[in-house]
Amino acid sequence: MKTITFYKYQGTGNDFVILDNRDLHFDKTNTKLIEKLCDRKFGIGADGLMLLENHDTLDFTMVYYNADGNESSMCGNGGRCLVSFAQHLGIVKDTASFEATDGLHHAHLFDNGEVSLQMTDVPVVQVFDGHIFTNTGSPHHVQLTDNIDHTDVFTQGRHLRNDLYGKEGANINFVEPQGGNVFKVRTYERGVEDETLSCGTGVTAVALAMHSTQQTQNNEVSLLTPGGTLKVKYQPSPQGYTDIWLTGPATQVFKGAIAV
């Protein structure tokens, strides 16, 4: 029987199966297997699966799949977890540089287990009547709500993801300002097709959306998600937002082997 050695990580409750694929042993075309490994009843269980692979000039390459088994766009919490995994493997110490689907990322690792990840620059934040749309490495819809604890994120998120964004979809974020520079956020993720406990590119989109619509004047905000607190820093400019950093915990949960 064949087994796959895996690691399970979580970043503010957004959880991932991670495989060390530096020897390229994993069959990336096996969508069904990726979906099964992420299945919470028939597999390990996760919001997504990542491969850590070699890179010619940087520390490593990140390959990201959603829980539905399909390769997707950037995952901010996943990127932070993969940086922590690279440190576990001894590939990096307290800084890292890697390539993901949206380009080059830099990261810092701190002694308290937090990881800061530089996100892609965001040239455009589109403000519509009732919502905001931006791409922070992944596409995000941001919508204000006045009772986030009682918002039906699954039903409303699924509806918006399908009816407004079609087959390609988008991630749907609900946000409620808490006063000061603090915002409560809940996210429906495409590819998971459910609410997750936190979404890194999602809270980044929320931070930029709140700044663009003058809900905050600050360059650093705290985002309270069901899985914990993340911080986003950014520099606004006439060209959009640059120097964007996502910071929060990234934790190894366990290591295991699964029969496939």
246: β partners? 117, 232
CA distances from 140 to 50, 109, 150, 168 (A): 21, 26, 21, 12
Residue 173 annotated as part of some ligand binding site: no
CA distance 246 to 225: 14
Q: Quick one: 43 or 76, whose CB is closer to ligand LBFN2T5F?
A: 76
CA distance 124 to 212: 10
Q: Which residues contact 191 (CB under 8 A, 6 or more apart)?
A: 48, 66, 67, 68, 70, 72, 169
Residue 201 annotated as part of some ligand binding site: yes
Tokens describing residue 48: 């997504």
* Residue ranges that bind ligand LBFN2T5F, judged by CB under 6 A: 14, 66, 72-73, 75-78, 138, 171, 189-192, 199-202
Q: Is 38 a catalytic residue?
A: no
Residue 171 annotated as part of some ligand binding site: yes
Q: Quick one: 173 or 181, whose CB is closer to ligand LBFN2T5F?
A: 173
Query: Minimum Å distance from CB 257 to ligand LBFN2T5F?
Result: 25
Q: Quick one: 190 or 211, whose CB is closer to ligand LBFN2T5F?
A: 190
Query: Minimum Å distance from CB 138 to ligand LBFN2T5F?
Result: 3
Query: Minimum Å distance from CB 186 to ligand LBFN2T5F?
Result: 13
The amino acid at residue 77 is N
Residue 200 annotated as part of some ligand binding site: yes
* Catalytic pick among 37, 67, 75, 192: 75
220-225 vs 240-249, strand pairing mode: unpaired
Q: Quick one: 100 or 148, whose CB is closer to ligand LBFN2T5F?
A: 100
Residue 77 annotated as part of some ligand binding site: yes
* Catalytic pick among 117, 199, 207, 209: 199
Q: Judge contact between 3 and 33, C-beta under 8 A.
A: no
CA distance 79 to 144: 27
Q: Quick one: 82 or 148, whose CB is closer to ligand LBFN2T5F?
A: 82
Query: Minimum Å distance from CB 196 to ligand LBFN2T5F?
Result: 6
CA distance 235 to 220: 9
Closest Cα to residue 16, out of 96, 86, 81? 81
CA distance 114 to 250: 6
Residue 189 annotated as part of some ligand binding site: yes
Query: Minimum Å distance from CB 73 to ligand LBFN2T5F?
Result: 5
Q: Which residues are annotated as a binding site?
A: 14, 66, 76-77, 171, 189-190, 200-201
Active site residues: 75, 199
Q: Which residues are annotated as a binding site for substrate?
A: 14, 66, 76-77, 171, 189-190, 200-201
